[in-house]
């Protein structure tokens, strides 16, 4: 089995933390939030915590959590755990400590990946809200509509609440390999048949052709072809079904912003390693993988150097085949969870690591390695799309 890069992955255990609130909180906009979620609030650091610097550790967080749950703890006398200065230790202090720890992680420059094992609309919403990312202007939600008749695309009932929360338009691009989504008319029909048009507005970005984005720092591409109306949107939320792929080895966030946002021409351009706008076949494998990373970077760069784009990966129905396959192989491994990040490389790497650590991941690992799939992440890290190092924060343990 191929050795993967050693990562810094810190799992922060947060029992009963989701949705905690206190007088120091700052509330995010809830105009489009489905009523069942109530007023979700983001915890901000108290002045005392902000001035203290990075003085708390994961051990402190666990100790305070165990204290509040009346579990055995080491001697905590002398510990400064009263973050909100009310002369007692309570769940508000735990929330503030969590934020202080996460703030120090961000300041260390290592991206955070959030994870929940709850694969539901609520779980997806929690993974999204953990990012504390607020889209601005017109917001697009990029996903795969799924090739008929039996692909494993993300179902509308799973994503509906998040899509409507960000007031997003679902966007896609036509394929370059035939099938039921290779023309705009057929693709709109698939979107309707699969239920996406019932939950939000829907647009094919390359209905009227392509626009180009410059590729900075690439070794294969100098430009990337996306849908002509790509720039009509100010922010992008990328919802990806993590799974295998017949050519890339796996598909996740990086593939979704490269091949996924590529126009029909752009898909051929990436697959061919910048050799053809009409023929996706016959390109050199590593050039294809590197082109995905470089095309993805052009998208991130355009969106204010990654500030106006966020990512959620759903690790369910983990087939070795992509959602572009209308008859994928039946998954032979268990569902894992939902992960989110503002760094697509860290997010995909975390998903890869979870597959490698799974007892039943052999088939998907074989698919990834047989296509040299990790090279996409290697190159993406090299050119600055993101980082393969990350810190994993569990939302529900």
Residue bearing the bigger pLDDT, 73 or 40: 73
pLDDT tens for each residue of 242-295: 999 999 999 999 999 999 999 999 999 999 999 999 999 999 999 999 999 999
pLDDT tier for residue 14 given thresholds of 50, 70 and 90: very low
What percentage of the chain exceeds 90 in pLDDT? 78
3-state secondary structure of 309: strand
Burial of 359 by CB count in 10 Å (0-12 exposed, 13-18 middle, 19+ buried)?
Answer: exposed
Question: How far is the C-alpha of 148 from the C-alpha of 325, rounded, in Å?
Answer: 8
φ/ψ of 38, rounded to 5, equals: 65, -160
3-state secondary structure of 249: strand
Could you report how far apart the first and last alpha carbons of the chain are, in Å? 30
Q: What is the model's pLDDT at position 102?
A: 74
pTM here is 0.79
pLDDT score of 24 more than 90: no
Mind listing the domains of the chain with CATH numbers?
26-107 (no CATH), 118-394 (3.40.50)
pLDDT tens for each residue of 298-356: 999 999 999 999 999 999 999 999 999 999 999 999 999 999 999 999 999 999 999 99
185-213 average pLDDT score: 98
pLDDT score of 170 more than 70: yes
Give the DSSP letter of residue 110. Answer: P
Please answer whether residues 27 and 41 qualify as being in contact, where contact means their C-beta atoms are separated by less than 8 angstroms.
yes
- Of 57-61, 182-186, 209-213, the poorest mean pLDDT is in 57-61
Residue bearing the bigger pLDDT, 172 or 99: 172
What percentage of the chain exceeds 70 in pLDDT? 85
pLDDT tens for each residue of 37-49: 333 222 222 222 3
pLDDT tens for each residue of 99-116: 887 777 666 678 999 999
Beta strands in the chain (DSSP E): 26-27, 41-42, 112-116, 139-142, 169-172, 202-204, 210-214, 223-227, 235-241, 243-245, 249-251, 309-315, 337-341, 391-394
pLDDT score of 213 more than 90: yes
């Amino acid at each position: 089995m191929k050795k993967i890069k050693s990562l810094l992955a810190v799992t922060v255990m947060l029992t009963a933390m989701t949705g905690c609130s206190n007088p120091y909180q700052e509330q995010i906009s809830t105009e489009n939030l489905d009523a069942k979620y109530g007023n979700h609030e983001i915890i901000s650091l108290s002045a005392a915590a902000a001035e203290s610097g990075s003085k708390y550790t994961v051990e402190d967080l666990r100790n305070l959590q165990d204290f509040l749950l009346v579990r055995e703890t080491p001697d905590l006398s002398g510990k400064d755990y009263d973050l909100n200065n009310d002369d007692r230790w309570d769940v508000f202090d735990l929330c503030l400590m969590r934020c202080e720890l996460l703030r120090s992680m961000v300041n260390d420059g290592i991206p955070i990946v959030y994870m929940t094992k709850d694969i539901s609309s609520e779980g997806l919403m929690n993974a999204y809200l953990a990012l504390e990312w607020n889209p601005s202007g017109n917001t697009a939600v990029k996903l795969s509509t799924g090739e008929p008749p039996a692909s494993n695309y993300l179902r509308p009932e799973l994503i509906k609440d998040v899509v409507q929360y960000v007031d997003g338009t679902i966007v896609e691009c036509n394929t370059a390999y035939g099938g039921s989504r290779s023309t705009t008319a057929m693709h709109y029909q698939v979107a309707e048949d699969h239920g996406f048009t019932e939950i939000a507005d829907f647009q094919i970005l390359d209905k009227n052709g392509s626009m180009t984005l410059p590729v900075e720092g690439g070794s294969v591409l100098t430009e990337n072809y996306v849908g002509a109306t790509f720039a009509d949107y100010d922010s992008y939320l990328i919802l990806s079904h993590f799974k295998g792929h017949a050519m890339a080895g796996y598909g996740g966030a990086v593939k979704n912003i490269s091949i996924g946002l590529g126009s029909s021409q752009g898909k051929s351009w990436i697959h061919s390693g910048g050799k053809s706008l009409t023929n996706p076949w016959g390109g050199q494998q590593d050039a294809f993988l590197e082109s995905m990373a470089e095309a993805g970077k052009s998208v991130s760069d355009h969106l204010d150097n990654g500030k106006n784009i966020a990512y959620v990966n759903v690790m369910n129905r983990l087939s070795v085949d992509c959602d572009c396959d209308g008859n994928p192989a039946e998954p032979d491994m268990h569902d894992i969870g939902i992960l989110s990040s503002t760094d697509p490389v860290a997010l995909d790497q975390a998903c890869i690591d979870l597959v490698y650590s799974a007892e039943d991941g052999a088939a998907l690992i074989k698919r990834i390695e047989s296509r040299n799939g990790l090279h996409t992440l290697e190159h993406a890290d090299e050119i600055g799309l993101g980082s393969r190092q990350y810190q994993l924060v569990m939302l529900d343990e």
